[in-house]
A and B are shown apart, each in its own frame.
Chain A
Amino acid sequence: MRRTRILHTESFRLAALFATLFLALAGALIAVVYWIVETTQTAALVNVVEADISTIRNGYRDRGVDEAIEIVRQRLGSSDYSNVDLPGGYILLEDATRGKLAGNLAALPPQLGLLSIPRPHKKHGTVLGKGVYLADGLYLFVGRDTARLGAVRERILQAFAWLAGATIILAALGGILFSVQFLRRVDAITRTCNAIVAGRFNDRIPLRGSNDELDRLASAINAMLDRIAALLDNLRQVSSDVAHDLRTPLTHLRQRLEHAHAASATVDDYSAAVSRAIADTDELLRLFTALLRISQIEAGTRAAAFSVLSLSDLLNRLYEMYRPVAEDHGHVLHRDIREAIQVRGDAELLTQLFVNLVENALRHTPSGTRIVIALDVSADVAIASVCDSGPGIEADEREKVFRRFYRVTTSRTAPGNGLGLALVAAIAKLHQATIELSDNRPGLCVSVSAPVAARPNS
């Protein structure tokens, strides 16, 4: 099983591919060497043959056919001709009418120029030589056994075979070594994935710290798992919120209906009970919507649709929108908004963030309270704040107010579901903005700091 897996790994395939390429290249190189050796050797052999031919030709020209025969015999007696096995030189001198005059070859039909003839007395091998006419009817062939060439060729081929064998073995070993290592790390990733499938969500892929591509893949997968774990936590949180915190208003609703059922005497009683029940249902739906919205925002998909927008315009609109509302609540709304400040974000969500802050200030402070919407820039950070001169929040409660369903002790009786600031926190986090609650002496100041976006025209 493991063996076949190794053969199927990418690293093994790569090793095999490179081995094949190397072999092909080595083969081509060997072929060239082979060709060069062969042509050089053939040329050398032809030179030797031609030297012999000219010696014999000179003898014949100077002193006639007997001298030629004598030279042939001498040549055949010399060391490089007498050794029949190696290197094996062959000469044939024949006359058209008298037949073979001298030599160690059987009579041949005369052929001129370079030619190959079968090696006498042997099954394999050829004799390469040259045939010439010394005179009309006097034919001379001088040749050499090509066995010597064959020996060199064989050595080249042998060297190549060794090289090929070594390459294949090294490539296979290297491939297996790399593949085993690769497989071991891939197995680690697989094990982690399987563990997560089996429910161990906290498992992560071990990193080697080498920052190679597998390490980078592993850390990308780990980052993905972290993100999924965060989303999962968020989902768990929402479902537990829904399970626990919607139970209370549902209980109220049920009791109200039960009471109406038991105690209502007139149509008006029923009608009033139904109206209250509808109002309760609407409140439940609001709660539900707020919870869903928080979880949607925390999921972070909205950030993809961010654009550069004017926070100054947004807050000015908000001021104009809430000034009459503040008046009707007996509050005074002011603004101190620096113009032309842009941030990157989602207009709808940012509006909701500041609406929640302004409405919190309106709803949780007594009549006569002064509320200021302000916007300024400091070191490329836009600081938007909603400050009131109301009772404020105790320092130890300032962190907790951003939790879902948390309600400041003093405002438990005021209407609201305890999700407003949780939504604010979620929206701010999505915008990579920080929120700070501070003492306005007296009152509460909520500041949202977000990086300023570059103006499109600068």
Chain B
Amino acid sequence: MNILLIEDDIELAQSLIGEFREQGYAVDHAADGMEGLRLASGQTHQVIVLDRMLPLLDGLSLVKRLRAGNVITPVIYLTTMSGIDDRVHGLEAGADDYLVKPFAFVELLARVRVLARRPAAQEVVTRLRAGDLDMDLLQRTLSRAGRQIELLPQEFRLLEYLMRNPNRVVTRTMLLEHVWDIHFDPQTSVVESHISRLRAKLNQDAEIDPIQTIRGTGYKLLAQD
């Protein structure tokens, strides 16, 4: 996978490049907005990791120009601007995700992986399958190995997000954002509690637990093809 990192903080950039390469990714790096725009326009990357405040051309304008030029490469912002408005404006400009500095690398990695395999926007999915799980998004039903399982609405959305990103780590924060639309850090174990109830329902008559806990980070839905 090819990542474009546009970040003017050289120390952070070096560290991220090192970490991404360790994960087997190729990284191109630009240290200012204009260089970043030039590299991004080539459209050879799966994901663009973009600092919001950059010399020559700021991140927000860069994304706007990319989208205006029909470059649809997924973009994730890295930013120190943590206000609600900052996030909303950032996403409105055409970015796909938003991560406030400082962050744990696993969080960035998980988000980059999810973005890289995001299906094309026009593709409407009505059915999700992962391993022996079968989810009908129109009927809002779920079955495991042919057996129907009743889920509460929030459990359904939680599993839906996991099934949309099978075999990929999704962090607690990502689940809070996508399932509950919560953009702050709750002080209680909301995600854990829901996961444990979801697990109990999924595994009632099954041997294998499809949801793997990644300690200190999040969860991964295992699905063999």
From A324, A348, A352, A363, give the contact of B193 (CB < 8 A): A324
Chain A residues touching B, range: 20 to 34
Whether B188 and A321, one on each chain, are in contact in the complex, defined by CB atoms closer than 8 angstroms, is: no
CB-CB nearest in chain B for A324: B193
* Contacting residue for A359 out of B152, B183, B188, B196, CB 8 A: B188
A457 within 8 A of B: no
At the interface, yes or no: B186 with Cβ under 8 Å from chain A? yes
Known contacts A321-B154, A359-B187, A415-B187; is-contact A348 B196 (Cβ 8 Å): no
- From B85, B100, B186, residue with most partner A Cβ within 10 Å: B186
For A352, what are the chain B residues with a Cβ–Cβ distance below 8 Å?
184
Contacting B at CB under 8 A, from A337-370, are 346, 348-349, 351-352, 355, 359, 362-363
Which chain A positions have C-beta within 8 A of B184?
289, 293, 352, 355
Of all chain B residues, the one with the shortest Cβ separation from A328 is: B193
Contact partner, B154, options A320, A362, A363, A415, Cβ 8 Å: A320
Q: For A73, list chain B residues within 8 Å (CB).
A: none
A285-B102, A328-B189, A415-B187 given; A320·B152 CB < 8 A: yes
Contacts of A320 in B (CB 8 A): 152-154
Q: Does B85 lie within 8 Å of A302, measured CB to CB?
A: yes
CB neighbours (8 Å) of B85 from chain A are 301-302, 305
Nearest Cβ in chain A — how far from B101, in angstroms? 10
Is A238 interfacial (CB 8 A cutoff)? no
The minimal Cβ–Cβ distance linking A238 to chain B, given in whole angstroms, is 14
A9 interface residue (CB < 8 Å to B): no
B193:A355 contact, CB within 8 angstroms: no
Do A351 and B189 have beta carbons less than 8 Å apart?
no
Nearest opposing residue in chain A for B84, CB measure: A348
A interface majority secondary structure = helix
Beta-carbon contact of A351 and B182 below 8 Å: yes
Query: Smallest Cβ distance from A418 to chain B, in angstroms?
Result: 12
B25 contacts the other chain (CB 8 A): no
A329 and B153 contact, Cβ closer than 8 Å, known pairs A324-B194, A348-B183, A349-B84? no
Q: Provide the residues of chain B in CB contact with A433, threshold 8 Å.
A: none
- Minimum CB–CB distance for A356 against chain B, Å: 8
Chain B: interface residue total (CB-CB under 8 A): 25
A292 to B84, CA, bound (A): 11
The distance from the CB of A9 to the nearest CB of chain B, in whole angstroms, is: 42
Chain B residues whose C-beta falls within 8 Å of the C-beta of A351 in the assembled complex = 181-182
**Pair B84/A325 contact, Cβ less than 8 Å:** no
Complex interface residues of chain A between 283 and 311 (CB less than 8 A to chain B): 285-286, 289, 292-293, 296, 301-302, 305
Whether a CB of chain A sits under 8 angstroms from the CB of B190 is yes
Contacts of B154 in A (CB 8 A): 317, 320-321
Contacts of A34 in B (CB 8 A): none
In the bound assembly, the distance between CA atoms of A302 and B194 in angstroms comes to: 31
B82 within 8 A of A: yes
Contact, CB under 8 Å: B83 / A355: no
**Interface residue? A201 (CB, 8 A):** no
Bound CA span A71–B175, Å: 128
* Interface residue A226 (Cβ < 8 Å from any Cβ of B): no
Contact B187 A416, beta carbon cutoff 8 Å: yes
Within 8 A of A (CB), among B60-81: none
State the Cβ distance, A61 to closest chain B Cβ, in Å: 105
A301 to B194, CA, bound (A): 35
A325-B83 CB under 8 A given contacts A285-B102, A348-B183:
no
User: Please, how many angstroms separate the alpha-carbon atoms of A292 and B153 in the complex?
Assistant: 33
Q: Which residues of A contact B83 (CB under 8 A)?
A: 292-293, 296
- Per the bound structure, the CA–CA distance linking A4 and B199 in Å amounts to 85
B211 to chain A, nearest CB (A): 15
B186 partner, pick from A296, A301, A317, A355, beta carbons under 8 A: A355
A-B contact pairs, 15 of them (CB 8 A): A293-B82, A305-B85, A317-B154, A320-B153, A321-B180, A322-B190, A325-B188, A325-B193, A328-B192, A329-B188, A348-B183, A355-B184, A359-B187, A359-B188, A416-B187
6 closest residue pairs by CB, A with B: A324-B193, A325-B193, A328-B193, A359-B187, A325-B188, A359-B188
- Which A residues form the contact surface with B (CB < 8 A)? 285-286, 289, 292-293, 296, 301-302, 305, 317, 320-322, 324-325, 327-329, 346, 348-349, 351-352, 355, 359, 362-363, 415-416, 420
